[in-house]
Amino acid sequence: MRSDNVTKGAERAPNRSLFYALGYTKEELDRPLIGVVSAYSEIVPGHMNLDKITEAVKAGIRMAGGTPIMVPAIGVCDGIAMGHEGMKYSLPSRELICDSVETMFTAHQFDGLVLVPNCDKIVPGMLMAALRMNVPAVVCSGGPMLAGNHEGKEVSLSYMFEAVGAFKAGLMNEEQLTQCEEGCCPGCGSCSGMYTANSMNCLCEAVGIALPGNGTIPAVYAKRLQLAKKAGMAIMNLVEKNICARDIFNERSVRNALACDMALGCSTNTVLHLLALCKEAGVDLKLETFNEVSAKVPNLCHLAPAGPTHMPDLDAAGGIPAVQAELAKKGLLDLDVMTVTGKTLGENIKGAVNRNHNAIRPIEDPYTPTGGLQILWGNLAPKGCVVKRSAVAPEMLCHTGPARVFNSEEEAISCIYAGGIHPGDVVVIRYEGPKGGPGMREMLNPTSALAGMKLDKTVALITDGRFSGASRGASIGHVSPEAASGGPIGLVQEGDLIEIDIPNASINMKVSDEELEKRKAAYVQPAPKVTSGWLARYARLVTSADEGAVLR
């Protein structure tokens, strides 16, 4: 056992003395030591219940003969960080989390890990570390929030952001706005739509590194605590059999995750995170693979913001196993891959039934025959960009319009709120990529403002930044190379015609190669936005979005 390095032999007497100082007994030190990495805090609604989840995990570990040891992890609430400089820290925090989990695991020689995250960057950050070190690991999230209510309608956080746009456009009064903000997020859990947190928790389940139910059981249900206890028991089985993270997360299971990604209509952020996870796991995942899978896998779910259903609806319909059962009907999954249950995927979903065809369409009657995400290429994005196709209105799948160019999110949102964007426009927000932002901020404020102003079916938005899973409309992000790295998005001028063809995976500015060369020759790189603190170091080391925005 790895923990023998800190618990066994006369040479480790000083180490043991410090465990005794913590109150551990000899009997506990004779058992496998399991790190329980908890992102509990009082600033993230999705994490405010993780103290209870962590205690349940620890109980499961003890029941199965292990010694649980809780260690902390940080976590940014993307909703609270949205729309100001705090969002610059969200994506970069993924790397901090990964490095800190590696540090705590290696320094203290745990035998396995149960990862207890819930929200956007925390899930992939923790899992990246487990894959990097290739150790026994189980992900056990805190669960999704229940849907809120506004004027008798089920709502969640995306509706709240759009309400601001409606208020600015005079479509909602101040009293209605206040009622909405008080009712849209009713309690603990990751916000209730198919946003990034829920997307990643569902994909952890789909790839097999989390137990069935991880992605969908609501945070407030007793079943969530029961799941946490089972996760604690599951890690002991993995440690005993030496089944490590890369035994489960591999090329075959990643393709299963991609299939679920397309069926569910997950956040565009899953592209960034799956690329980063695959890099740590040694899996060669290319952007082209997303389109390859999307072409074969139909979109079965329209959860908020794409439609009116929320995570409790998906759970009641049978959750991820029910989605997988639909996909298995057409042979779209590899059912022989191993999972943290100790069983194969096929064994896990045996008997799974789709109980609500409004939440999960039967595979014979999908929303669309292709998946929820699409990668686009063209002279605007030679290395690709991504759009959540399932949340785009049919009339915006193909669109050509004049560019409205902004060099920051603040410039764009100011113009949108002032009524300066008109039907047909293509809003271009640049210098918000991993390096240029730095930190690749989410553009939920601009996209939600456009939706709230009823412009989401006539206006497109393109950025080298990224989008929250709560964004809808023709929101095209991750443009690579980014402007700060000399990408063509930095050469776009006001009024240039931008041609978007999502079905044919293309995005181009209608500008000649000769004109682009002239602009490139005259281009002057703006000064970095951040020159101090660790974000400046991040900007120097971060790679492009098409590589997962990982650090060199």
Dist CA 498 CA 490 (whole Å)? 14
What is residue 32's DSSP assignment?
Answer: P
Helix, strand or coil, per DSSP, at residue 166: helix
Helix, strand or coil, per DSSP, at residue 340: coil
Dist CA 376 CA 274 (whole Å)? 17
Dist CA 405 CA 430 (whole Å)? 8
Residue type for position 499: E
Find the Cα–Cα–Cα–Cα dihedral 28, 29, 35, 41, rounded to 10°: 60
| Residue in the structure block whose two tokens are 């709240």 | 160
Residue ranges of E strands in 416-485: 426-429, 460-463, 475-477
Q: Would you list the DSSP string of 56-101?
A: HHHHHHHHTT-EEEEEE-----HHHHTTSGGGGGHHHHHHHHHHHH
Dist CA 546 CA 552 (whole Å)? 14
Per the annotation, the verdict on 294 as an active-site residue is no
Apex 113 CA angle, 109 and 117, nearest 5: 130
Instruction: For helices 196-207 and 122-133, give the axis angle rounded to 10 degrees.
Output: 30
Q: Compute φ and ψ for 36, nearest 5 degrees.
A: -110, 105
402: preceding bond cis by omega (within 30 degrees): no
Q: How far is CA 28 from CA 33, 66, 329, in A?
A: 8, 8, 47
Instruction: Indicate which residue of 192, 294, 468, 480 is catalytic.
Output: 468
State the catalytic residues: 468
